[in-house]
Structure 1
Amino acid sequence: MSRHSSRPAAPIITLYDLKSAGPIPQPWAPNIWRIRFILNYKRLRYRTAWVEFPDVEATLRAIGAPPSASRSDGRPIYTLPVIVDPTRNPRAPQILSNPNNIAEYLEASYPARPVFPEGTRAMQTLFVHYIQEVFVKPLLPIMVPLSHQGLPARSQSHFRPGAPGYASPHSGSGLSLPGPQREQAWRSVKEQFDFMAMILDKNVGDGDGVVVCGNEVSYADFALCSVLIWIQRVAAHDGWMRIREWNGGRWVRLWERCKAYMDEY
């Protein structure tokens, strides 16, 4: 009789993420990091499935993932992150797209270690919307070309002018800007960080003065720290070295608070 168990391995969650260049993929996309943070914080078992840009739509259609949005003509848009969760029902796994939908699902399905402390859901939802729609906008001309350069060659060709959020690395944006224009772009970024620091400073005395909701990290902190990870991994010298000095080191303190949940599986 075999001494080894023949029982199949317990199913785990799969997180679909964008593949970067290099032999070992480095997760960088902020919307996907928001979900990775939640999985780590809730101590859920998961694995990462790496997908190149040209394969995203075909891969997601093949697994039955819902589109994350629709174009003006009604055609579906498929984007990452996507999770497949077979742990509750292996025969009918939950397949979700859109980071906000995924966050809501994980909170409802795995309520231990909540990322939405009681009474904060509406505020946090608004906070994350602000990060997505306003806070990151000045970063895009700098970060999108640099992110493009960090993709595998095949993905670079696919991520072409006209794609959502695209800015060409040769179009006079980001680090290709002349020095004065590049510095002006970073000044616009700093204005957003200064405003965010002013808002978060209102918590001083009512919490630890670092996180958004009192003393414990939450979804809002993960959304904000996901932007910091994007900058640190894609613009370590021109970006992260600046930001770590801003606002009295506030952003390094937030990074340190979230560091325990930066595992990559």
Structure 2
Amino acid sequence: MARTITRGNTSGESDKSTITMKPLILYDIPSQLPGSYWSPNTSKPRFVLSYKELPFETVWVEYPNIAPVLKGLGLTPKKRLDGSDIYTVPVLNDPNTGALIDESLEIAAYLEKTYPTKPIFPHGSHMLIRVFDSAYLDDTQPIVKLIYVRVAEILNPVSAEFFRRTRSERLQLPWEEFSPEGPKRDKDWAYLEQGFNKGEALWVKSGREWVMGDTFSYADIIVASRLFWYKRVLKEDEWARISSWNGGRWARVLDKVQQECHLS
């Protein structure tokens, strides 16, 4: 749906000059879940677009089709450590400006610059939030193999096969060894809980509503997108386990950010 914007004249009265904004296009990975979207990386721009109340449409791309589709758009690939090309989503196509951007943080920066209403990098916080983004990702790694197992369970078959094969190759580990039940998985859960406990300590110390204090920002979207990933792909009892930590804080954080972004 296009959005029509009415401009005001210098006297403060609205005139008849309007701009019809074309919907932005977000490339995302489908799943078998209701609503389809599940990935933390593609959820970040989805949260930002919804928060800024920007019209957008989703183009669903299965994993094996990501490279050919993005190559067809003319997107420049990133490079793996071995020098080979890699294409990833999210990708945002803005038909209003002709911009084509990949990576969630770069998409957020683009949207902030191009559509500054309802800022997500308030008070000159752009570089600080970039550091936060990197540190928060590092802190969630221990449980990632279990998450990968759960992701493969909710993907469509063509993507699930691709996902299992490429993750096994990347980590040089047989799929059945990713997260076997027992001491290894228990250790990963314990490590993850320690990470949440550190987050709880910082939250309590700040005594504020949002990551940056009293102001909502992209840092809150980073946290919520990770929680959203857990909630979407983990089994019900596994998400309930995380939800019970720190007095139920993390389920409340997710709910609060979803409400702020009009996604609840």
| Match 1:110 to one of 101, 107, 115 | 115
Q: Identity, % of aligned pairs? A: 32
* 1:139-171 CA-partner distances (Å, limit 9, x unpaired): 202101110121111112222434476697842
| Equivalent position SS for 2:196 | helix
Structure 1 residue 215: Cα displacement? 2.0
Tell me the residue number matched to 2:36: 26
| Equivalent position SS for 2:109 | helix
Instruction: Give runs of aligned pairs for residues 120-135 of structure 1, distance below 5 A.
Output: 120-132=125-137, 134-135=138-139
Instruction: Give runs of aligned pairs for residues 1-265 of structure 1, distance below 5 A.
Output: 10-21=21-32, 25-67=35-77, 69-87=78-96, 89=97, 93-132=98-137, 134-163=138-167, 170-174=175-179, 177-204=180-207, 207-208=208-209, 211-260=210-259, 261=261, 263=263
Structure 1 residue 117: Cα displacement? 0.8
Q: Which blocks of at least 5 consecutive residues in structure 2 are unaligned? A: 1-19
* 1:40-73 CA-partner distances (Å, limit 9, x unpaired): 1111000111000010000001112232x21234
Flag the structure with higher strand content: 2
TM, length-normalised to structure 1: 0.84
| Equivalent position SS for 2:28 | strand
Structure 1 residue 25: Cα displacement? 4.8
Q: Distance in 1 between matches of 2:116 and 2:185?
A: 44
Q: Residue type of the partner of 1:246?
A: W
| Equivalent position SS for 2:100 | strand
Q: Distance in 2 between matches of 1:97 and 1:125?
A: 16
| Equivalent position SS for 2:226 | helix
The count of aligned residue pairs is 243
* 1:45-103 CA-partner distances (Å, limit 9, x unpaired): 00111000010000001112232x2123433210000000012x3xxx11111112111
Q: Which moved further from structure 2: 70-79 or 10-19?
A: 70-79
Q: Residue type of the partner of 1:173?
A: F
Q: Distance in 2 between matches of 1:166 and 1:153?
A: 21
Structure 1 residue 123: Cα displacement? 1.9
Distance 1:109 1:141, change over 3 A: same
Q: Residue type of the partner of 1:118?
A: H
Q: Distance in 1 between matches of 2:172 and 2:147?
A: 9
| Equivalent position SS for 1:182 | helix
Q: Residue type of the partner of 2:125?
A: T
Flag the structure with higher helix content: 2
Q: Distance in 2 between matches of 1:119 and 1:258?
A: 21
Distance 1:155 1:25, change over 3 A: farther
Q: Which moved further from structure 2: 10-19 or 36-45?
A: 10-19
Q: Residue type of the partner of 1:101?
A: E
TM, length-normalised to structure 2: 0.84
Tell me the residue number matched to 1:5: none
Distance 1:186 1:47, change over 3 A: same
Could you list the structure 1 runs, at least 4 aligned residues long, displaced by more than 4 angstroms after superposition.
164-170
